[in-house]
């Protein structure tokens, strides 16, 4: 557990489910993803499965969860190292601009450092300017452009 300013950051636990669902639903809505309780349930199960690669953090102000982050390790063959990937980061709109995102990323940097990772990496939408304001202060913007391709199955 880590305290940063007015926030405590700790791993997500089963008791967090109702509030985690609210924030994860809001995160998906922010990125215009179709509401899908099955997705929320699947991700919640991942977060509570010690054998799954996806892990989660929550940021609390007092006893209230005001932010969530999901992360996982990833291999970096080009450097022969392992990095930490920040998949999702969301702050309750009422708590934005108060350091929640910074506290979550700071804790993830410590987790990555303790795990001897070479980098903490994430992406964000090009129009998410408010988040980029924070990210530009605490990380280096890269020149990489991302692409998504649709998977295809081999003929049976």
Report all structural domains of the chain as residue ranges with CATH numbers, in order of start.
Answer: 2-138 (3.40.630.30)
Task: Please state, in angstroms and rounded to a whole number, the distance separating the CA atoms of residues 76 and 147.
Answer: 18
pTM of the model: 0.91
pLDDT, residue 3, reads: 53
Average pLDDT taken over every residue of the chain = 94
Residues of the chain short of pLDDT 50, as ranges, are: none
pLDDT, residue 156, reads: 80
| C-alpha separations of 134 from 96, 108, 124, 125, 131 in Å | 11, 15, 12, 14, 5
């Amino acid at each position: 557990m880590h305290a940063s300013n007015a926030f405590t950051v700790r791993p997500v636990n089963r008791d967090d489910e109702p509030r985690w669902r609210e924030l994860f639903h809001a995160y998906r809505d922010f990125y215009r993803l179709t509401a899908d309780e099955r997705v929320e349930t699947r991700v919640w199960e991942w977060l509570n499965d010690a054998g799954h690669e996806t892990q989660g953090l929550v940021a609390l102000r007092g006893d209230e969860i005001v932010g969530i982050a999901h992360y996982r390790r990833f291999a970096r063959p080009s450097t022969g190292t392992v990095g930490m990937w920040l998949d999702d980061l969301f702050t309750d709109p009422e708590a934005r601009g108060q350091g929640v995102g910074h506290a979550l990323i700071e804790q993830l940097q410590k987790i990555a450092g303790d795990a001897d990772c070479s980098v903490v990496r994430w992406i964000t939408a090009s129009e998410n300017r408010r988040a980029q304001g924070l990210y530009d202060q605490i990380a280096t913007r890269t020149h990489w452009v991302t692409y998504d391709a649709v998977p295809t199955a081999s003929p049976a």
